[in-house]
Each structure stands twice: as C-alpha cells, then as structure tokens.
Amino acid sequence: MTSNSDKPESAHHSMWRMSVAPMMDWSDLHCRYLHRLLTRHTLLYTEMVTTGALLHGDVPRHLRFNAEEHPLALQLGGSEPADLARAAQLGAQWGYDEINLNCGCPSERVQRGAFGACLMNEAQLVADGVKAMRDVVQIPVTVKHRIGIDKSESYDFVRDFIGTVAEAGCEVFIVHARNAWLKGLSPKENREVPPLRYEVVAQLKRDFPQLTIAINGGFKDSAAVAEQLECVDGVMVGREAYHNPWWLASWDAQFYGAAPNTLTREAVEEQMVDYMEREALAHGTHWYSIARHMLGLRHGLAGARRWRQAWSDHRLKGLPAREVMAIARAPQGLGAGG
C-alpha cells in the first residue's frame, strides 16, 4: 500500500476527489492495475460483487487484487443487513480501503435480487445495511445511488434518501446524476437515456454540506470535471476512463497538484506486458484477458486501430505477450489500416 508520506500533494484532498466507477465486466483487477499505472491518487472501485457470491462462492476469485491498486474500494450488491455485514468484514480482512453499497444498478437481474437501484425505495433498509456494515468494519462505508427512480423527478425523494441513510452514519454519497428507469430500459440505455441533471447533485451538496458528495455521469473531459469540483467534493468517471485510459495520466497533476506525469504510452504498455508475464506465472492468467483492458491506450493516435487489432487478434493468442507487443508496434504490423 502507498504510505501517506508518499503522497503529500494529495493529503489535503478528499479521498473521493477523483475515482473510476465500478463497471461490470470491465473494472476487474487487471483493468485497475492499468489505471493505477496512469494515476497514483485516483480512487479505484471493483466491479459490483454480490453478497451471495462472497458468502457462498469463491472468495479469492472475487476479492483478489494487486497491492499496487490502493486506494481501492469494494462495491457490494445486496440488501440483507446481516449478509452485507459479513461481506463487508471479508472486504476489510482482504485489505480494501472502503466498502461501497450499490443502490444505483437498474438491471433486471439485480432487481430480482431486490438490490441495486430499487433500494432507493427502501431508504430505511439501506440505512440498516449501512449501520450493520459500519458496526463491523473500521473503513468507510459509502453508498452509490441515482437521483431518482423511473420518471419521477422529485428532489425531495433523493434528499430524503440521503437524509435517512446519513442518520445511520454514512458520510459519503456517490451520486449518478440520472434517474434509474426500472422498466423498459436496458442497463446500457439507463446510462444514456435518462437525462443528466447535475444541478440536483449540486443542490444535495448545498443541503448536506457536512457530507462528502461526489458526482457521476457523462464526464468526458477535464474541463467538465473541473467545473464540478467547484461545487461538489469529487467526480467519478466511468466509460470514458475505460475507453480512453490515457486521460487518467493527466489527473494527478490536474486534480491533485502532483508533478506532471512523465509516463509514455510505450512505457505503460511495457509495464502491462511485465504484469501479463507475472500473472501467467503466478495465476495461469492468459495475457489476452488482460490486454482487452488496454485497447484504448492509443485512443485518437495515428495507427491506433492497427495496434488495437494486434492486441485483440485471437490468432495471436498462442504467442507470448512480448511477441504480440512487437507485432503491434511494427510499422506494418498485420497489414491492417491505421
């Protein structure tokens, strides 16, 4: 873990100033390793892990992470306070820096489990879950949620939700600035169709100045992030961080006052190949499942398409990662267009 003495320039900032969102099928430990190479200070989140998966499944498979990933939060999906408490204990024992409760995912599978966004309709149950977790762990317990359910745009609804959950001791809320429509939209559509209403999150911060309020939803450039940091405590970035990871390389300097980053994309790629080799030796992980997370590393550059094609070409899966890197970097590569 990075010691506090290693990061004096970020000490005066909230731990939630910048974060990368929990993203199903994307923000696994390999993706997070890449992101940590690019930014030392940004808070990283796991994919959502259900309490059932932890209490009845393969705990190491769900909770293993690289020591370099800190600061790192575990996001839980669940609604039963006793189960949440046991899962939070596991997260703390494994060394996570925060436990986050998902009250924002609108997928039908999550709804069938009676958690995710539908929990916003049961604020007292969320409060009970938060209290149960806080009673058994010393690390922060936080909540990620939407600003409303379905097409109701009542500000009172989200204000009262936060008020109730804050009474249980939750001090940090990460607010996705869209409603969650529980019927008629896919999870992907739920990230795009309901309108963004940043002004609601700003109002929440005004109404709850004592709480840490971070905003999530639709951020694609540093100017938009900087604008939000004028009125809330933090910004969480999701899809853009995944598709354009090089953006993260500027965050420590822009948002934490750190020295400018001297990294190059080539150096990051080489460090990822080193990581692929270590993972193969230690865990039998194939480089292909790691490489998928760095396909956006050359986003917007000439030749990016050909480079991406080499790293994602299933015909090359039998080669060592280092040879694939050489092919990806070769002037003509696989003969594909740039």
Query: Burial, 70: exposed, middle or buried (Cβ in 10 Å; 0-12, 13-18, 19+)?
Result: middle
Beta strands, E only, 5-71: 18-20, 43-50
Task: Measure CA of the first residue to CA of the last residue in the chain; give whole Å.
Answer: 40
Distance CA 199, CA 242 (A): 25
Pairing relationship of beta strands 43-50 and 234-237 according to DSSP bridges: unpaired
* DSSP for residue 332: S
Around 171, how many Cα atoms within 13 Å sit in the side-chain half-sphere? 8
Indicate which residue of 31, 103, 105, 118 is catalytic. 105
Based on the residue annotation, tell me whether 170 is a catalytic residue of this protein: no
* DSSP for residue 195: P
* DSSP for residue 261: P
- Secondary structure (DSSP) of 112-145: HTT-GGGGGG-HHHHHHHHHHHHTT-SS-EEEEE
Distance CA 157, CA 218 (A): 22
Positions marked catalytic: 105
